[in-house]
Amino acid sequence: MRFARITLGLLLALSGLLAAIAGAVAAFWLVGPDNTISTPRRELASTGLAVVTAPSLLDRHGPTLRVSASGDKPLFIGVGQDLDVRDYLSGTAHTRLIQFDPPATFGTQELRGDTKKLTPPGQLDWWVAQSAPGSQAVSWPIQDGLYDVVVMNADGTPAVGAQVTFGIEVHRLFGICLLVLGAGVVVLALGLALVLRRRPVVKEIADTTEIPVITNTRIPVLVTTAPVQREEEENAPAYRVSPFAPDRVSPFAPLAAKEEQPAADPAPATPAAAQVSPAPVTAPVRQVPVRPAPVRPAAAVPAAPMFMSAAAVARAKSPALIGASASQRYDEPAQTTYAEPVEEPVDTVAEETVPLAASPEFVKSDEAVRRTAALLASGAMLLTATSCGLMPPKNTMTAADSRPAVTLADAQAVVQRYNQLNNQANKTRDGKLSETIEGNPTLAQTQAGFLIGRKLDAAGKDVSKPFSYTDPEIGAPQFASYPMRFVVSSGVSNAPGNRQLGVWQRENAGSPWLLTHSVYPPKAVELPSVDGLRTANADDLSKLQGRPEAVTKDLAAYLTGGKNAPQSKLFTPSPSLTNMLDLRAKSKATDTAEPYIADVTDAFAPSGVPLTFITESGDALVFLSLTERYLQRVEPGSNAYWTSGEATAFSSMVKYTQTLHQDYLHQVAVVIPAKSTGDAVQVLSIDPQLVGAGGA
């Protein structure tokens, strides 16, 4: 067992030493108190517009990613979903990091493309993490999905050069490294204790006199006729016990010494020749007692040393008196006799055979090994559990990402920015400024309104009063690619009887959010909830009362034919639609009465692609556009021209001999119900704007 103990101790000491060194190096060199493993500073440069990591480099989630950079120019560091970053850099020259080999070796791929300046990245709201103004560092808890890290110039210009450091912060990593260090020290100490341990030496004090060993295998016992007492025989010990086999019985041992008996009568003297004396004299005769010679037993045959039982040890330590024979006298003849052994009652202990595995020393050694193994197993389990907790899990979202078009906070920021810039544009009738916040068809209506305002109100006395959209409700569907859209339902500060229902759209990742569709239904009209809006798929469209394109055509036919058109039964008109139809009917009658006008026609046509969103109830909220041409035919031989009104902003005092026309652009919002309801299509609002006029 000593060999096994030393071997185990050496293994533990070596393992503990390695663990202690590894823990110390990891704790104080690789990690540090901030729990972050960082790469050395590495120079990353690109002649293009950005340096971006491939999504495969961030294939685990959980820890915190830390990126810092420095360069000659102000730098921007951002983390974004791959669908946003990919669209933002689409068609541009940039450098992609596709491989990382510790400690700081990157494999790069140069992508060719345009080097035109991009929209400054700090103006975009789809970054999940970005460096603050004036800072060139970012910290981001890695999420499950496809994400890219982007380093580029803050102004979006090409030629990027940066010294970049990447780091991963793992929660409690420094403490775990210290735990490994401490565990290594403990295991090292345990191993050394096993190696250097010595069995305690107990000094046994003999409680019996040392007995000389008689080497004769056969010891003759001589019985003398005359008692001879020698001093050396009296002082010599009368017995000898073997410590190796105390229970081994020899034919010559053990012999018990007989008790001394009283002196026997002397043997009668040999009769001699009779002598005659005149008178016999009787003298006192002194009898000398004869002591029997002590019998010395032969030494017990030694046996091979074995593990001694407890009973054998007890017998070995008890002083068993065994008789010894007297010294042999060769000068006088004697007959060799052997004394009979005398049974002597001895308190004996039942002999018990103890196997090797149950011996005390074996049990103690086995117990020590068991405790050591249990300690090591516990430490191994602890370290295994700890290391498993340190390993970040693999990403499960490896397919193309989809995300809400916008967050609630970002959508509210978009609406607030629109309120501010729209009032500035309305105040100065600045169509260029409107282009930064609006898209068609809303932009076309706004710019036409500015043109008419400048024509009819050159002094600017009737400019629009400032207003804002209040309490916006946001509906943000999921999108996997651009363009992305979200819907807003809000109040109008200068029109308390109406609400605004609009669609904001981002054409690509580098473009701003623009208001593309906007209508103003009255509060009396019940609007569908925008919560839970989603984009429509083929299955959703098949369940509707009609497809959006077909509904748009039917609506155009209904407006062209008037209230009595066959398509009118398919719709539930809004108050604004009814008013518009009444106004057009009056205009036709009035214009036809003019002597230079032969007839009047009014035709509506679909414009653009309807935008469809599915509500939580399964109905479709559709935003669509219609164009209208109000055409007046001039009588032959006559001429006509626009002399007043909004049409003069597009054509003023120009004589036309064949036709006069006015062009309108209408924005419409409708709700298409599901087939199962059997309801008609509800028109929420229709908002016209004159966008052109002229003639032929």
* SS3 of residue 625 by DSSP: strand
**For residue 529, is pLDDT > 50?**
yes
Per the CB < 8 A criterion, the answer to whether 509 and 484 are in contact is no
Q: Which of 11-25, 80-94, 454-468, 588-602 has the lowest mean pLDDT?
A: 11-25
- The enclosing H or E element of 561 equals helix 548-561
What pLDDT, on the 0 to 100 scale, is given for residue 520?
A: 97
Q: Does domain 403-528 have CATH number 3.10.450?
A: yes
Angle of helix 360-390 relative to helix 173-196, nearest 10 degrees, comes to 160
Closest CA to 499 of 522, 530, 528, 531: 522
Average pLDDT over residues 41-65: 89
Between CA 674 and CA 467 the distance in angstroms is 36
Rounded Cα gap, residues 196 and 358, in angstroms: 25
Residue 269 has pLDDT above 50, yes or no: no
Q: Please say if the pLDDT value at position 41 is more than 70.
A: yes
The more confident residue out of 41 and 316 is 41
Residue 477: closest CA among 314, 300, 613, 679 = 613
The residue behind tokens 């219609």 is: 626
Least confident of 123-132, 248-257, 427-436, 475-484: 248-257
Give residue 394's pLDDT.
84
Q: Report the alpha-carbon distance of residue 240 to residue 298 in Å, rounded.
A: 9
213-237 pLDDT, tens digit per residue, is 555 545 554 444 455 555 555 555 5
Q: Is the pLDDT of residue 164 over 50?
A: yes
Q: How far apart are CA 436 and CA 420, in angstroms?
A: 12
- Residue 264 scores a pLDDT above 60: no
Q: What is the pLDDT of residue 279?
A: 46
Look up residue 390 and give its two tokens.
């340190």
What pLDDT does 277 receive? 45
Q: How far from each other are the two terminal CA atoms of the chain, in whole angstroms?
A: 117
Q: Is it true that domain 36-169 has CATH number 2.60.120.380?
A: yes
> Beta strands 681-695 and 571-572: pairing type?
parallel
User: Which of these, 582, 441, 576, 580, lies nearest to 521 by C-alpha position?
Assistant: 576
The CATH number of 536-695 is which of 3.10.450, 3.40.50, 3.90.550, 3.30.70? 3.10.450
Cβ neighbors of 576 (< 8 A, separation 6 or more) are 521, 522, 685, 686, 687
Q: How many angstroms separate the CA atoms of 433 and 175, rounded?
A: 56
Q: How many other C-beta atoms can be found within 10 angstroms of the C-beta atom of residue 560?
A: 17
On average, the pLDDT of the chain sits at 80
| Strand 129-130 relative to strand 75-81, pairing | antiparallel
Give Cα 56 to chain centroid, integer Å: 17
Interval 642-646 mean pLDDT = 91
The full set of domain ranges for the chain reads 1-35+171-199+359-398, 36-169, 403-528, 536-695
Please check whether residue 575 is in contact with residue 524, taking contact to mean a CB–CB distance below 8 angstroms: yes
Per-residue pLDDT of 569-581, as tens digits, reads: 999 999 999 999 9
Check residues 406 and 327 and name the one with the higher pLDDT. Answer: 406
Q: Which residue has the higher pLDDT, 296 or 65?
A: 65
Q: Give 526: exposed, middle or buried? Use CB within 10 Å, 0-12, 13-18, 19+.
A: exposed
Q: Is there a shared CATH topology between the 36-169 domain and the 403-528 domain?
A: no
Write out pLDDT tens, residues 494-512. 999 999 999 999 999 999 9
For residue 176, the model assigns a pLDDT of 78
Residue type, 184: G
pLDDT of residue 677: 92
d(CA 506, CA 483): 6
Alpha-carbon span 445 to 451, nearest angstrom: 10
Mean pLDDT is highest, among 16-30, 219-233, 450-464, 540-554, for: 540-554
> Of the given ranges (158-162, 460-464, 480-484), which has the lowest mean pLDDT?
460-464
| Cβ count within 10 A of residue 361 | 12
Confidence check: pLDDT of 291 > 80:
no
Alpha-helical runs (H) found in 333-462: 360-390, 408-428, 431-434, 442-456
Running DSSP on this structure, what letter comes out for residue 4? H
Q: And the tokens for 247? A: 């229970």
* pLDDT tens-digit readout, 75-96: 999 999 999 999 999 999 999 9
The more confident residue out of 60 and 580 is 580
